[in-house]
Amino acid sequence: MLSASTDCKEPESANFDSVIVRYGGEIGIKRAWTRKMYERRLRDNIKSVLKHHGIPYDKVIRKHGRLFLKTSLAVEASSKLAEAFGVTSLSPALETTSKLSDVVDKSVFLAGLTLREEESFAVRCRRVGRHPYTSMDVCIEVGRQVLNAFPERHLRVNLKNPDVTLGIEIRDDKTFVYSTVVGGTGGLPLGTQPKIVGLLNGGADSSVACWLVMKRGCPIVPLYFDNAPFTDDNATERTLNVVRKLFDWAIGFPQKVYVVPNGLNIKEFKKRKRFERLTGILCKRMMYRIAEQIADMVRAEAIVTGEAIEEPASQTLRKLRVLDSVLTKYPVHRPLLGFEKAEREQMARRIGTYEVSIQMVKGCTAVSGKPVVGVKLQEVAEAEKALNIEEMVERSVEALKIVNL
């Protein structure tokens, strides 16, 4: 899903001058105005990635269903752009005209660099516009000329399972010839959907949850609650490092982390000995309240968390319902709700946050190791009546720190 993969070999000496950028069918089925907006956002995101990595380019051309990037570093560009949300695949390519003889010559040239002795190949042609030939005419002629050009290699045609596929994309008066398809991340271009506040705690799950909504086009506003003195500085640093990995997928967007000191709130909860066992759920409900204030501040549309349905009593459906009841303005999205732990860890490895998230830090000591079972909303509401919740929320928001990464 995430790693750049190829279905053909890539000749390093081809001196590719273009990249074909393909994007998902979800964009293609949009109405004209919406599709144009999505394509423009993808084009802008591509430019940001290229600038970030110092890859020079001449222009990005938008055609219906495709973007064509003109660059002398097509292979490097394809590798970096594979992690841009919205891109389904890319191909370093050679450009020529749509004249059939030019198409054949360029295809034979690439075949000569790509095909080895006794290998099989197929030719695939995609054509848009009016031309004095059909796509089948192109495939037949290119295949015939490749066989004639390299008789000593004993090549053969295999249309079902070829060793190498020669791709030909003809767009009006331009043609792009390629032999490699690099897998992209897919999804929607980042920035085509509203912002979401992401509750991050440095663990793998919260980063994966944020990544999944980013893949659907939503920029993330990371929100971290610093529970010092019940945790140490290493916990904060680990979270910031996780966010850095997450921001590798959001090049061109603000790289800010919102940090809220939460230690004073926890101390308030623990003062009430009668309700001390509810410290964990009182703390989480406070986080939700503060997250709503941050969502207002940054004009987000929702909150996302890494919670899932787990065996431990900390993440049962009943507990999640008690947490949700505190929200008044924004929904909480939990994209990991149905994923098993092993699946979540696999996704974290793929997006690059897993190794950072498993670094050992001092866990929060405010909550006992034994989770509270069978918590009732009435009991939680009674505990909160003994607290000045509004003042605690206001104090927390005022103490907010914004860390630029």
Characterize the bridge pairing of strands 174-178 and 220-226.
unpaired
pLDDT at 32: 83
Q: What is the pLDDT of residue 311?
A: 56
The dihedral through the CA atoms of 109, 113, 118, 123 has a sign that is negative
User: What's the pTM?
Assistant: 0.90
What confidence score (pLDDT) does residue 4 get? 41
Distance CA 195, CA 326 (A): 21
Q: Taking Cα atoms as reference points, which of 146, 150, 100 lies closest to residue 127?
A: 100
What is the separation of C-alpha 159 from the centre of its chain, rounded to a whole number of angstroms? Answer: 34
End-to-end Cα, the chain, rounded Å:
27
**3-state secondary structure (DSSP) of residue 288:** helix
CA distance 92 to 77: 8
Calculate the alpha carbon distances from 397 to 225, 294, 333, 364 in Å.
Answer: 11, 8, 22, 21
Q: Is the peptide bond before 335 cis (omega within 30 degrees of 0)?
A: no
pLDDT for 34 equals: 87
What is the C-alpha to C-alpha distance for residues 305 and 326, in angstroms, rounded to an integer? 15
Task: Give pLDDT tens digits along the chain (405 positions).
Answer: 343 444 455 665 679 999 999 998 788 787 888 888 999 999 999 999 999 999 999 999 988 889 999 999 999 999 999 999 999 999 999 999 999 999 999 999 999 999 999 999 999 999 999 999 999 999 999 999 999 999 999 999 999 999 999 999 999 999 999 999 999 999 999 999 999 999 999 889 999 999 999 999 999 999 999 988 888 888 999 999 999 999 999 999 999 999 999 999 988 888 877 777 788 889 999 999 999 999 999 999 999 999 988 755 567 888 888 899 999 999 999 999 989 999 999 999 999 999 999 887 666 766 765 666 677 888 888 888 989 999 999 999 999 999 998
Residue 334 and residue 205: Cα distance in Å, rounded?
10
Which residue is listed with tokens 């000496």?
Answer: 13
Give the model's pLDDT for residue 319.
86
All domains of the chain in start order, with CATH: 12-183 (3.30.2130.30), 196-404 (3.40.50.620)
DSSP string of 342-385, one letter each residue: HHHHHHHHHHT-HHHHTS--PPP-SS-SSPP-S--HHHHHHHHH
